[in-house]
Structure 1
Amino acid sequence: MPLGIKQTVPFLTVADTDASLRFYLDGLGFSIVHEWRPRGRIEWCMIRRDEGFLMMQEPAPDYTGTLPEPRGQGVVVIFLCEDALVLYHEARERNIPVSEPFVGNNLWVVSFTDPDGYRIDFESETDVPEETTYTEWLASRNSTL
């Protein structure tokens, strides 16, 4: 029987919500949808850009468990979008560190690493040949003009 799942929202444990929010809001253009301020500052929130969502939260001050370090090791969050290269250009304009886009699995891949080490990828379909870098693609376009 179908569950009626409507959406998947990755939940990230972060060391410093303020630093993470600067990265996602100021750097990647997300906005806050919901927030929780139990001690006068945001400790949990849901953010979005277009139809892509993330949740993040710091561990409670009295948390005594262990968390993996670096936190984001082995975690990749992928946002499928219409044109990932738009975000690459936005990041460059804002001086946000971003990897050079490349084509993988018929998708442009624009990759960021957030303050906790989570890899955040934005990907969009393309017919550009596999493993082509953005620089190579631009050069090939300019040589045909």
Structure 2
Amino acid sequence: MATVSSSPAPGMQQIDLATLNVQQLAQLKQQLDQEITVFHDSLQTLKIAQNKFIESGQCVGKITPESQGKTILVPLTGSMYVPGVITDTEKVLIDIGTGYYAQKDIEGAKDYFKRKVEFVTEQVEKIKMLGSEKAKVHKAICTVIENKLRASMQAAKPSTS
């Protein structure tokens, strides 16, 4: 398997792996290892964000008119909470990122978190696809390296005629 993909992505060129020497293949393999690690880390981060959006949507869904006057814990940071009282069950204040907050009605907040979950899910799928392609290329490079090393060892063996 010297070539991996018959149609390279835009902005990328197709390389016949068999034409590269072992050192070039090793460098390419190392680069792919780093890229695969970045994809894995990105997936982990996106899954954490996805879970937070899901939890936030569920929490907003639990606010009902009967919740008025009940005591809750309000997060100030990821690990620090203060007691608070629900005074308005019609509107909530949601964190929309980078220190910005928006006031939404309950349905608007549920819709916001639903859209965020869908967006993050799409990004996860894209990264999984790219990671899968990188893994295929990585496997092909490893196979070519093994074949080249095996061939060079065969050539180095003295003939026993």
Shorter-normalised TM range: under 0.3
Larger Rg: 2
Larger % of helix: which? 2
What's the TM-score once normalised by structure 1's chain length? 0.25
